[in-house]
Amino acid sequence: MIEYTKCSSNNECVEIIKNAVRNKELTIIFGKCTVDYQGRAASKLTEGERFVIIKQDGAIIIHRPIGYSPVNWQPSTSVIEVVERDDRVVLTAIRNKPREIVWVYFSEIYGIIHGKLVDQGEFVMYMDEHEIRDILYENPELIEKGLRIIEKEKPIGNGYADLFGIDKNNVPVIIEIKRISASRDAVLQLFNYVKIYENKTGVKPRGILVAPNFTSSAIESIHKLGLEYKEINLQLLWKYKKAREIRHGTLLEFLAKKK
């Protein structure tokens, strides 16, 4: 059930948001706010009318009224706190690993939408993992600058790592790719490849899991196991795919004319 509330006071807003977060509800807050961020960098967003989305897994997205990209976000949170302070509603979102904090200071809240949603549908863009792998093989900078891919489908133990390469510091890199949301199982699969390679060669490689998005348990496991992750944009990869098909078609036409 989805509810809309227009708060009569800051205290009421605080209680509604607290309860929604506690119950892991999707929460959308419309209002006038400023935003501070501190973590790997620091930023400040001066006052404006925006809406803040707190997703059921704790992810937070802050949007302006125009454009599709968020102006600030927190992909996962360890703690979300909401209090009233100095006639403002203050929302604090803390992420422990890496340590990042987002503060949202609402001088006015216009309304709050909250409730539970269920979505078990699979997002399908017509690209399979092999196509994604081949695009990343040809364009390793989409994963990381300075990365050189040496091998596709590298045998490791009883399995095959999608990509194997060397980073700019000459450290081996094992890359696993998922075309849909990466789960904890994908993390454990990558970790297994990393340990097998390390035990066999005596060299510790980096392990990078590549996917369009990640479950919260996957991100938690990545941090615990000392791995890394890279979020890919499927729409961008789709453009690379179409360009690749055009180049391939042009080459075939050229070869046909030569016959």
Tell me how far apart the alpha carbons of residues 187 and 119 are, in angstroms, rounded to a whole number. 23
* pLDDT the model gives residue 252: 47
* pLDDT the model gives residue 122: 66
Q: Which fold has domain 129-253?
A: Trna Endonuclease; Chain: A, domain 1 (3.40.1350)
Tell me how far apart the alpha carbons of residues 181 and 122 are, in angstroms, rounded to a whole number. 9
Digit-by-digit pLDDT tens for the chain (259 residues) are: 899 999 999 999 999 999 999 999 999 999 999 999 998 889 999 999 999 999 999 999 999 999 888 999 998 899 999 999 999 999 999 998 889 999 999 999 999 999 999 998 765 556 778 889 999 999 999 999 999 999 999 999 999 999 999 999 999 999 999 988 899 999 999 999 999 999 999 999 999 999 999 998 999 999 999 999 999 888 888 888 888 777 655 544 544 555 5
CATH number of 2-115: 2.70.180.20
Task: Calculate ∠ Cα 66-88-95, nearest 5°.
Answer: 70
* pLDDT the model gives residue 255: 47
- On the question of a common fold for 2-115 and 129-253, the answer reads no
Q: Where are the domains of the chain?
A: 2-115, 129-253
